[in-house]
Each structure stands twice: as structure tokens, then as C-alpha cells.
Amino acid sequence: MLYQIIASSILLGALIFGTAFVAPIAITTLGETNAGSFLRKYWVVYHRLGLFGSLSILVLTLAATTLWQTLGTSIFLSGLAIFSAICFFLGLKLIPEINAARDADQNDKFKKLHLLDVVLVGLAQLALIGSIIITVTL
């Protein structure tokens, strides 16, 4: 259980750090034009980190099932990890569409797709927070 808590906390911390610090610093330091090319690459890495981190937490959860978690708890925690992974996967698939909308000056489409991605990332982070809380309270 401790490994699940540590892995989930590290992943969540990295994700929050990326959205709260890296992106704003890039925009203020590099300017909007240069930050755009940096952030396009950064968000792909960010979503991949979320996806593979969530899948790693799923593996840890499944391994913990045989050691100390009840089957019901393991199913619930596995569901949260899978949900988180799906959110990051869908966000990763949205990135090319978001970039294309930005390049084509389709601001309404860009805003809608970007908002959808933000919601997906937020839901994935909430799932990670939920898994940490559930694991700590066991």
C-alpha cells in the first residue's frame, strides 16, 4: 500500500507542478510565440506521463490485491487508475486537434477543445486524489 501512495503522490505532484508552474513560467519567460512551440511538446510529454503513471499505479494496485487489499478495494482503486489513464489518453489524442485549431485561427474550436482537455486532466487528477485518500484510509 505504501508504494501505491508514494507513486500516486509523486505522479499527482508532478502533474500539478507542470500545470501550476511550468506552463505559466514558460509563457511569461519565453513570450507567447516561443512558449507555444515549447508547450506543444511539453503537453505531449505531460499527457504521456499521466497515462503511463496511471498505468503504473494500476499495476501496483493489482499487485497489492494479492498481498493486503480486499478484492472490492482493489477493483475500486483499479477503476480509478483506469479512469485516470483513459482521461490522459483522450487528452493526448486531443492535442493534434487543439494545435490544428490554434494554427487555423479557429478560436472557438480551440477554446472548446482546450477546455475539454483541461476537464479531462482535472478529472484524472481527482481520480488520483481519490485513490490516495482511499489507500491512506484503509
Nearest to 7 by CA among 75, 104, 77, 89: 77
pLDDT tens string for the chain (138 positions)?
A: 778 889 999 999 999 999 999 999 999 999 888 898 999 999 999 999 999 999 999 998 888 776 777 788 888 999 999 999 999 999 999 999 999 999 999 999 999 999 999 999 999 999 999 999 988 887
User: Residue 72: what pLDDT?
Assistant: 82
Look up the domain containing 87 and give its range: 2-136
Distance from C-alpha of 138 to C-alpha of 133, rounded to nearest angstrom = 9
Distance from C-alpha of 125 to C-alpha of 128, rounded to nearest angstrom = 5
C-alpha cell at 20: 501550476
The helix/strand/coil state of 46 is: helix
The CATH number linked to 100 is 1.20.120
**Total of domains in the chain:** 1
Cβ-based neighbour number of residue 94 at 10 Å = 18
